[in-house]
Homo-oligomer: A and B are copies of this chain.
Amino acid sequence: MKVIELHKSVTASNDADAEELRREMKERGTLLINLMSSPGSGKTTLLSRTIRDLGAELNIAVLEADIESAVDAERIAALGALSVQVHTDGMCHMDAGMTRTGLEAMGLEQIDLAFLENIGNLICPAEYDTGAGRNVMILSVPEGDDKPLKYPLMFQTSDALVITKTDTLGYFDFDLETCKNRVRKLNPAIEIFPVSAKTGEGMKEWEEWLKKETSAWKQK
């Protein structure tokens, strides 16, 4: 498992870099999914279970972005998946150039599905196109159902929302229908997957969506 220290990308046009990276990934047949969420929403736990469930069907790789530490990449590597940790030099987001550097360090031969686990933050990551083919946001039940009201941009820029830790719904004051309605008001086309990586509830729907999107990405 590698650890890469990143620095601010030197190019002026992140949007153009992102388009170019997306085009290359399409050509290569690797779907890159940009996973965004708050700290502690359960991104790594969701990924671990997804890799265990889909690892026999798809070649999966994970690019872990953090300010410091390599605890997440170590958890993923322990599952036998290709994994690289990048450090963002204090920056609160990943841009397309940083993502490219991480992917190049990882190598993507025969990878069907690559996840970028973006910095834990509901604001900055939504403002930078990473070049990913799909954006997925994760919201955990303990964070509360008011988050779409407070961080609308991230819900608007995501293709899918995974609501994690649904096994704790009885414990927290979180109304699933209220949350879904708030999200759909911001983004009517978004796919919503309530899941518990602990009990397995809802994982099948999320994983079917991943398989469908990965397969569609390989079509010319």
Contact = CB atoms under 8 A, between A and B. Distances in A.
Given A68-B150, A150-B68, A144 B92 contact: no
B152 A68 contact: yes
A25 B124 CA distance: 31
A66 B127 contact: no
Interface in A118-146: 119-124, 127, 140, 142-144, 146
Given A92-B124, A150-B67, A39 B119 contact: no
A49 interface: no
A181 to B, nearest CB: 15
B165 A123 contact: no
A151 interface: yes
Interface string A139-171: 010111011011111000000000001001001
Contacts of A121: 92, 121-124
A171 B149 CA distance: 28
Size category, A interface: 20 to 34
Contacts of A119: 123
Contacts of A127: 90
Best-buried of A39, A119, A146, A168 by chain B (most CB within 10 Å): A39
Contacts of A55: none
Contact of A67 (B38, B123, B140): B123
B168 A142 contact: yes
Contacts of A68: 149-152
Contacts of A140: 40, 142
Given A67-B151, A142-B40, A144-B40, A120 B120 contact: no
Contacts of A39: 38, 122, 143, 147, 150-151
26 contacts: A38-B143, A39-B122, A39-B143, A39-B147, A39-B150, A39-B151, A40-B140, A40-B142, A40-B143, A67-B123, A67-B151, A67-B153, A68-B150, A69-B146, A90-B127, A92-B92, A92-B124, A119-B123, A120-B122, A120-B151, A121-B122, A121-B123, A123-B124, A124-B124, A140-B142, A142-B168
